[in-house]
Structure 1
Amino acid sequence: MDFSFEINSTSTLTMLFLLLSLFASSPLGIIKLSSCSEVHTNVKCIHTEREALLSFKNGLTDPSGRLSSWVSEDCCQWRGIECNNKSYHVTKLDLRNAGLGGKINASLIHLKHLNYLDLSANDFIGIQIPEFFGMLENLIYLNLSYASFSGRIPPHLGNLSSLIHLDLKDNGYLYPNLDYFWPLSSRNMDWLSSLSSLKYLDMTGVNFSGVGADWLQAVNTLPSLLELHLYSCELESLPLSLPFVNFTSLSVFDLSFNQFNSSIPRWLFNLTSLTKLDLRGNALQGTIPYDFVNLRNIEDLDLGGNQKISGQLPSFFGIFCKLKTLDLSMNNFSGSIGSFLGNFSTSLNNSMESLDLSSNRLAGKIPDSLGRLGSLTNLNLHFNSFSGSIPSSIGNLSSLQVFSLFGNEMNGTIPESLGQLSKLVSLNLEWNFGEGVITEAHLMNLTRLEGFAVTTDKNQSLIFNVTYDWVPPFKLKYLELESCLIGSKFPIWLQVQSELTEVTLRNVGISGAILEDWFSKISSQLTILDHQTTRSAGSFHNTCPIPSNIGDLMPKLRILDLSKNHLFGTIPLSILKIEVLEILSLGKNQLSGELPHHWNDSQFLKVVDIAYNNLSGKIPNSMGFLNSLEVLVLSNNNLYGEIPSSLRNCSLWSIDLGGNYLSGNLPSWIGSHVLMLRLRSNLFSGIIPRQWCNLPSLHILDLAQNNLYGGIPDCLDNLTALIYGYNNSYFSVYNYQEETILVTKGQELLYGRILEFVNSIDLSGNHLTGEIPNELSRLIELGTVNLSINHLTGNIPQNIGNLRWLESLDLSKNSLSGPIPKSLSSMTFLAHLNLSFNNLVGKIPSGNQLQTLNDASIYKGNPSLCGSPLPTKCPGDETFDGPTITNGSVDDKQDGDYYERLWFYVSIGLGFVVGFWSVCCTLLVKKSWRHWYFQFCDDIKDRISLIIALKVVHLKRKYGLEKIEVC
């Protein structure tokens, strides 16, 4: 028994030893025994953290099912979750681009060891960034970009002292019902000062308006910062001084598109580690300081968009031996670039790869020193005023891939050395005054050329002198030729271009069946077809119809422009099959028939321009299905009927239906985004809808020559674009330039490229009545006002002179009365004035701009007007003998005498009225005063009588008459 007990005791000890060993080997020191005696060791997730993640999940919406794996016991295996491989605490939560929404549960604070949180590219529909994020003290990476957070940035983020990477860029939320965007914002940046470990900070798009200069003080407390992105943050102050610079490790500095209005600060040049500096889109002033020489390590410098930087480009940029990209575009630089480029001498290691000086006011010739930039791959000089020829040294830029001179005044020849640029991919010489000849030598080595654009303002002044059967070494994908002579025969070098996707041929002098055959070969891949001509010899197969199966031939077209081609026939229904078509321009042809009736909402049309044809019938209701339609131009056809109300479903910015036979009342549903509304020369009747006062973007309103009646709305001052001059550059988008004819300065003028700068109201030739509303005088951006040929009465608004930019004013052939406002003389841009055939009276004002408008016809038909330039003199204008006038003109002297007499009489009248009625009203109101007043008068009367009596007695005594008695 004793022995047996000993053995059993030994077995028990052995079993206990094994159990203890197993316990010690478990990561958590826990063994779970199931009912089947199985040991499970695969679950690693901390229970409390799993529960926290499930609570977080329950608050979210997950339409994409990204969190579908969050169901198993082990949360460390869930998608987007990472755990520490020893402690199994959750350390990383990565849910970027998951399509999540809803609310963020505060249960995340139980993830005590979380160091990486990425919720970027989700849709939290305008909620604020949770304050409890500031309690996740172990975070080193926080990315909330593109997540639709809005409101204030919680200053509690300043508690994240271990944070290295913070990305809040491009947040904010657009409330669709309110049409209001609520950005992410912050009243200050003080909370940044505690993030001393921060190396990457991106707050692009955060609204910091009102922060002032404090932002820089906060940034200066971040000594470890390597990248700082504050693009488009509405920062308003760029301090010129900083006692010391603490963030000298900065490599990337982006302050572009803010609202600075200063020179470039001196402290900037202490940032000697910079490799990229971006200051585009600000309002920086002065010259670029020479201290940029200190930035010896910079590789990318971008100062584009500073509208007020002025002066010539400095020459110090030659010091930048490592500079790779220099972008000074969209500034106001002027002068030449000779000395600027001259400093890039051949002794330097020229590393410059991209040079962009576009959209400035640079002028003069392009210097030969350009050829020293042997590493250039991108050279952009467009939208300046360069002249002369392209320098022959251009051939030295053997690495050049992109070259653009678009929109300059180059008036010389194109050098043959251009043909040496064997790596050139894109060559854009559009809108210059090119002349001379392009030969095979210009093109023979351009083996990689894919884009080629040559257009001139002179009619066919640039000639392609290329052998008819020459085959080039390149295959173009983009071709634009305008107003240059290709030849009457269609050359082989164009016929072999079988890979083209974008084609523009305008006024190039080619025609015939060969052209049509070529189009048929490349039609299936074309995305842009723009073929125009100014003469029949260059038309699309002379005069012909549009192919009936064009929609099948060219299914990939995005832009179809066949305007000015003498095309006849009807508009093919197959055009509506081109589902990706964005621009349809068929204007100025001879098309007839009706508009297609089966427009559908699957189309992406943004522009429909079929003006100046012979179309008839009504505007189809189905055009209202074109939800993307922004520009509708159907002017000068034979359309009739009413404007369909279905068009309210479109996104119209520009409506031009003038010159038709449309009738009915003016539509009140016109959308608030409309920039131009031109309905002139139709048969519209009724009143001008008062709802049109709620068109804040309207720049052009032309309702002339209709049958409208009633008054001009007195709410015109709600047309805020005509008060503040909002941007209206939508007239030239999508490779389409809208053109329209407006009546201004007494004549019809065609507006194209400058249409976006026109501000005009034309209500002439109707039956409008009533007075000109004073609110018109508030539309200070107006350039043209035409209210002629109506039945308007009353006075011209006295403050009409407030229209400081007005160039043309026509109020003729109405029934206006009263004097001409003297404020008219304060207008400095007025070039055309017509006030004839009204009932105006008085003297014509003089001075300033009115002195130049001395045509008597301006005022004819107003019999009561007088003064220059009319022959009728005003009262007081007659000559007289008197003192010599030494100062001022005769008119000024006579005007002064007239007004002195006038004010003298007015003063007498006012004095009498005020004095008389002040006494009478007082006596009528207060009885006691009335008694006192008459008692006073009686006393005065008695005193006067006594004085007279005493004087009589005195006189009698003096002359001895006191004894004479009167019987």
Structure 2
Amino acid sequence: MFSMTATAVAGDSLDSDREVLLSFKSHLESRNPTERGKYNEWETTEKQDVCHWPGITCTPDKSRVTGISLTDSTISGPLFGNFSALTQLTFLDLSSNTIGGSIPDDLSRCHSLKHLNLSNNIIRGELSLSGLSNLEVLDLSVNKISGDVRSSFPLICNSLVVANLSTNNFSGRIDDVFNECRYLKYVNLRYNRFSGEIWSGFRRLVKFSVSGNRLSGNISASMFRGNCNLQVLDLSGNGFVGEFPGQVSNCQNLNVLDLWGNNFTGNIPAELGSISSLRGLHLGNNMFSRDIPETLLSLSNLVFLGLSRNNFGGDVQEIFGRFTQVKYLVLYGNSYVGGIHSSNILTLPNLSRLDLSYNNFSGRLPAEISQNLTFLILAYNNFSGDIPREYGNMPRLQALDLSSNRLTGSIPASFGKLTSLLWLMLANNSLSGEIPREIGNCSSLLWLNVANNQLSGGLYPELTNMGSNPTPTFEVNRQSEDYIVAGSGECLVMKRWIPAEFPPFIFGLESLTKRSCRSLWDHVREGKCIFPVCPPGSTVGPLDVSGYLQLSGNKMSGEVPANISQMKKLSMLHLGFNEFEGKLPTEIGQLPLVFLNLTRNKFSGQIPREIGNIYNLQNLDLSYNNFSGNFPTSLNDLNEMSKFNISYNPFIHGVIPSRGQLATFGKDSFLGNTLLQLPSFFNQPGNNNTSSGERDNGREEDEDDESAIDMLAFCWSTVLFYVVALIGTLVLIYFDCPWSRAWLRLIDTFMSSLKILDMGDDIVGIDTLDTKAVSKKKTVISWRSRNT
């Protein structure tokens, strides 16, 4: 009899299957009262044919239900506990939902089940599926399942072909778990906590990945004896030691060999050169010998060659310049000092991506370079001199990273021809001159970082066209067929290119491990952003690309143009520590900003109330400027804001609301604004009502307070001196004292010294602020001297 709970309902007819499905529907609806998937269309009337319900499949004669597919159907709560009543169920796919709890014992009684996919949920507990002896495909990836797998394996191995247990919390040993799985072809155990030695029978699989576990020991030659069917072997991110055996050459179908992030030593096996099918060779982050076997040159299908972090040192090996077939060459973190030219790696005809970052290269940047490059990464070296204008002649270039070198000169105007450019990273150099107006022609340029240079000029209207149409570049990346597994340096690149202070990306950085780097990398390259970009006036936005403009720590000046509103994908705008001036355009309120920092400039006029329409704004810093007028209370509507500072804008007046978001920050966000009326509780003893971001800067703000107090004392002493001097002078003149002229000369000398002091502080003050050197005390004094 039908029950609304998970009470057993068994039978051998379509009617009994229908009752079970309706019970399943009731289970789902009770836990998902609002957003519901296609199961919501299952009819309760008997007229509707069950086999036509969305997500349901039946036997050819439509006598029994055999399959349920509710992937990505906004399902939450625990798993349904009566699937076993569907006695002919062979296919169950509930992937990409938010199903929690543990796997119920009932599922182990679905003896006919051949395909089970519960991936991309939040299922916990231990694995217990020992009754599924007919299972062919098992996918439990991206969950939180823990414990040993021995309670289910080898009991479910009779027919198993695919076992994907990746990205869970499984532990224990795997060296003998799969011995009886005769038909097994694909095993993915990545990103778990498995320990001990590796399973020696992996050579009979097609794909085997144990990346990101705690496995150790040697990889012996015996593991590759006999027939080897492997196409992908991924051992990366473990603790394997010793020499890697050349007998891997028995795997003549191998496409990808990933040994990254272990402790392999000795020579790179010369036998690898006989595996003609090899396309990806990941040998980075080991301790291999710097001698590269000549035999590898015969790998005509090799696309990716990664030998980062192997402590090679010296000059780049000459042999790299002869890998004419390679598209991706990754050699970062090797302490190389030279050999870029002599190795000829810069002119490899098929080279698409070259990563030489984190080495010790010096001298001028190479001007002769392959025009086929899409990624050129030379960051964190000691290059000096100008940026070659020839770098503007690479029409396919999508990323140029020259940050953290010793570069001087100007940014070449030829960069305006790089219409496929997504990233331009030039931060932490000594570049000067203006940002060329031609950069506005870079229609794909969403991410520009030129922080901490000596750039001058303005943010010209032409520059606001950058990033206006990145779609063509994204389309090229979506159509790319190159298959390169993780370990290509994505983590290092993403952590460098994602600003740590940018709120939408903080979550990405915190969760950025090798397990997520590749997917995040692909999402960004293909324009599939993982963060919602909310238009002004909205608290909910579609997933879109989040761009940033990072200009802080330069000498840029002028006004912000009103047509900055054209940069519709701009989520981060950092103009701090510059010399921008004038009124902030109201059009800035039309940007989908999450981060806005204008600190230590010369902005004046009223703070645009339109900023209060950017409901997803999380970080707003307008401190150390000359804003004036009435404080816009519309900022109190920014409920997502976690960091806020308008300190030292002394011409702002008005009342700060005692309730709402602004009241959560405390007085440290309003220092130096004597005309502002703050809530009374800000001054109560023990009130530390400051945001976490402001507390981090508490010591610096205390220094500012001390500076302000020192300056106030100095001003009062000066006034008192003037008063006493004036009275004394009048008395002396009145009585015609013989030493009155000496007194007047003393006063004149003192006032001249005051004028010199005032001019000197103005010269070294905020107008020429160097973010790396100038103390805040001198900044406060100079700011006050300029505005008195």
State the TM-score, normalized to the length of structure 1.
Answer: 0.51
Question: Contact (CA 8 Å) 1:788, 1:812: kept in 2 or not?
Answer: no
Mapping for residues 464-483 of structure 1, pairs under 5 Å: 464=339, 467=342, 474-483=349-358
Other-structure match for 1:237:
125
Other-structure match for 2:27:
none
* Distance of 1:556 and 1:485 partners within structure 2: 29
After TM superposition, give the deviation of residue 373 of structure 1 in Å: 6.5
* Distance of 2:644 and 2:147 partners within structure 1: 39
The answer to whether structure 1 residue 372 and structure 2 residue 248 are counterparts is: yes
Question: Contact (CA 8 Å) 1:648, 1:671: kept in 2 or not?
Answer: yes
Structure 2 gap segments, 5+ residues each: 1-34, 471-545, 710-788
The answer to whether structure 1 residue 275 and structure 2 residue 161 are counterparts is: yes
1:402 is matched by which residue type in structure 2?
A: G
Other-structure match for 1:594:
458
Other-structure match for 1:84:
none
Question: Contact (CA 8 Å) 2:577, 2:600: kept in 1 or not?
Answer: yes
After TM superposition, give the deviation of residue 299 of structure 1 in Å: 1.7
After TM superposition, give the deviation of residue 703 of structure 1 in Å: 5.7
After TM superposition, give the deviation of residue 475 of structure 1 in Å: 1.7
Other-structure match for 1:393:
269
Question: Contact (CA 8 Å) 1:672, 1:696: kept in 2 or not?
Answer: yes
Question: Contact (CA 8 Å) 1:455, 1:483: kept in 2 or not?
Answer: yes
* Distance of 2:640 and 2:88 partners within structure 1: 48
After TM superposition, give the deviation of residue 588 of structure 1 in Å: 3.4
**Percentage of identical aligned residues:** 20
Please, which moves more after superposition, 772-781 or 555-564? 772-781
Query: What is the CA deviation profile of residues 103-141 of structure 1, one whole-angstrom value per residue up to 9, with x for unaligned ones?
Result: xxxxxxxxxxxxxxxxxxxxx997763232885886668
Other-structure match for 1:424:
302
* Distance of 1:594 and 1:506 partners within structure 2: 26
* Distance of 1:451 and 1:775 partners within structure 2: 56
Query: What is the CA deviation profile of residues 646-696 of structure 1, one whole-angstrom value per residue up to 9, with x for unaligned ones?
Result: 334333233332332234459662745445444444345787979569655
* Distance of 1:457 and 1:665 partners within structure 2: 50
Mapping for residues 101-180 of structure 1, pairs under 5 Å: 129-132=40-43, 144=55, 162-171=64-73
User: For residues 232 and 613 of structure 1, do their structure 2 counterparts lie closer, same or farther at Cα, with a shift above 3 Å needed?
Assistant: same
Aligned pair partner of 2:590 in 644, 649, 655: 649
Other-structure match for 1:516:
389
Question: Contact (CA 8 Å) 1:711, 1:771: kept in 2 or not?
Answer: no
Question: Contact (CA 8 Å) 1:170, 1:204: kept in 2 or not?
Answer: yes
SS of equivalent residue, structure 2 residue 402: strand
Other-structure match for 2:4:
none
Mapping for residues 727-738 of structure 1, pairs under 5 Å: none
The answer to whether structure 1 residue 784 and structure 2 residue 696 are counterparts is: yes
Question: Contact (CA 8 Å) 1:705, 1:764: kept in 2 or not?
Answer: yes
Question: Contact (CA 8 Å) 1:200, 1:225: kept in 2 or not?
Answer: yes
After TM superposition, give the deviation of residue 637 of structure 1 in Å: 1.1
Aligned pair partner of 1:250 in 105, 118, 135: 135
Question: Contact (CA 8 Å) 1:163, 1:195: kept in 2 or not?
Answer: yes
Other-structure match for 1:574:
438
Mapping for residues 427-446 of structure 1, pairs under 5 Å: 427-430=305-308, 434-444=312-322, 446=323
* Distance of 2:693 and 2:380 partners within structure 1: 37
* Distance of 1:457 and 1:682 partners within structure 2: 45
* Distance of 2:164 and 2:663 partners within structure 1: 39
Decide which structure has the larger Cα Rg and report it.
Answer: 1
User: For residues 165 and 717 of structure 1, do their structure 2 counterparts lie closer, same or farther at Cα, with a shift above 3 Å needed?
Assistant: farther
The answer to whether structure 1 residue 607 and structure 2 residue 483 are counterparts is: no
Aligned pair partner of 1:301 in 184, 187, 199: 187
Question: Contact (CA 8 Å) 1:280, 1:304: kept in 2 or not?
Answer: yes
Aligned pair partner of 1:669 in 603, 612, 615: 612
2:329 is matched by which residue type in structure 1?
A: F
Query: What is the CA deviation profile of residues 550-594 of structure 1, one whole-angstrom value per residue up to 9, with x for unaligned ones?
Result: 43x222222233445544433333322332222223333433222
The answer to whether structure 1 residue 414 and structure 2 residue 305 are counterparts is: no
* Distance of 2:201 and 2:368 partners within structure 1: 48
User: For residues 497 and 761 of structure 1, do their structure 2 counterparts lie closer, same or farther at Cα, with a shift above 3 Å needed?
Assistant: farther
After TM superposition, give the deviation of residue 639 of structure 1 in Å: 1.0
State the TM-score, normalized to the length of structure 2.
Answer: 0.61
SS of equivalent residue, structure 1 residue 622: helix
Query: What is the CA deviation profile of residues 210-266 of structure 1, one whole-angstrom value per residue up to 9, with x for unaligned ones?
Result: 5x443x51x33433322221122332333x556x51x32212111122233444351
Query: What is the CA deviation profile of residues 750-772 of structure 1, one whole-angstrom value per residue up to 9, with x for unaligned ones?
Result: xxxxxxxxxx9974954597347
Q: Which has the higher contact order (CA 8 A, sep 6+)?
A: 2
Mapping for residues 176-575 of structure 1, pairs under 5 Å: 183-185=74-76, 188-190=79-81, 192-209=83-100, 212-214=102-104, 216-217=105-106, 219-238=107-126, 240-241=127-128, 245=131, 247-264=132-149, 266-272=151-157, 273-288=159-174, 290-306=176-192, 309=193, 312=195, 314-329=196-211, 331=212, 333-334=213-214, 337-339=216-218, 341-342=219-220, 345-358=223-236, 360=237, 362-363=238-239, 365=241, 367-369=243-245, 372=248, 374-375=250-251, 376-380=254-258, 384=261, 386=262, 391-393=267-269, 396=272, 398=275, 399-404=277-282, 408=285, 414-417=290-293, 420=296, 422=299, 423-430=301-308, 434-444=312-322, 446-456=323-333, 458=335, 461-464=336-339, 467=342, 474-484=349-359, 495=368, 497-506=370-379, 515-517=388-390, 519-520=391-392, 522-532=393-403, 534-536=405-407, 543-547=409-413, 550-551=415-416, 553-564=417-428, 566-575=430-439
User: For residues 282 and 534 of structure 1, do their structure 2 counterparts lie closer, same or farther at Cα, with a shift above 3 Å needed?
Assistant: same
Query: What is the CA deviation profile of residues 159-205 of structure 1, one whole-angstrom value per residue up to 9, with x for unaligned ones?
Result: 9862334322123xxxxxxxxxxx24576524533433333322212
Other-structure match for 2:449:
585
After TM superposition, give the deviation of residue 617 of structure 1 in Å: 1.8
User: For residues 532 and 267 of structure 1, do their structure 2 counterparts lie closer, same or farther at Cα, with a shift above 3 Å needed?
Assistant: closer
SS of equivalent residue, structure 1 residue 655: strand
SS of equivalent residue, structure 1 residue 427: strand
After TM superposition, give the deviation of residue 402 of structure 1 in Å: 1.8
Structure 1 gap segments, 5+ residues each: 1-123, 146-154, 172-182, 723-759, 791-808, 816-967
After TM superposition, give the deviation of residue 449 of structure 1 in Å: 0.4
After TM superposition, give the deviation of residue 327 of structure 1 in Å: 2.8
* Distance of 1:514 and 1:379 partners within structure 2: 37
User: For residues 324 and 715 of structure 1, do their structure 2 counterparts lie closer, same or farther at Cα, with a shift above 3 Å needed?
Assistant: farther
Question: Contact (CA 8 Å) 1:626, 1:650: kept in 2 or not?
Answer: yes
For the aligned residue pairs, the C-alpha RMSD in angstroms reads 4.8
1:527 is matched by which residue type in structure 2?
A: Q
SS of equivalent residue, structure 2 residue 564: helix
User: For residues 653 and 299 of structure 1, do their structure 2 counterparts lie closer, same or farther at Cα, with a shift above 3 Å needed?
Assistant: farther
* Distance of 1:783 and 1:303 partners within structure 2: 43
Other-structure match for 2:541:
none
User: For residues 506 and 602 of structure 1, do their structure 2 counterparts lie closer, same or farther at Cα, with a shift above 3 Å needed?
Assistant: closer
Other-structure match for 1:660:
601
* Distance of 2:168 and 2:386 partners within structure 1: 54
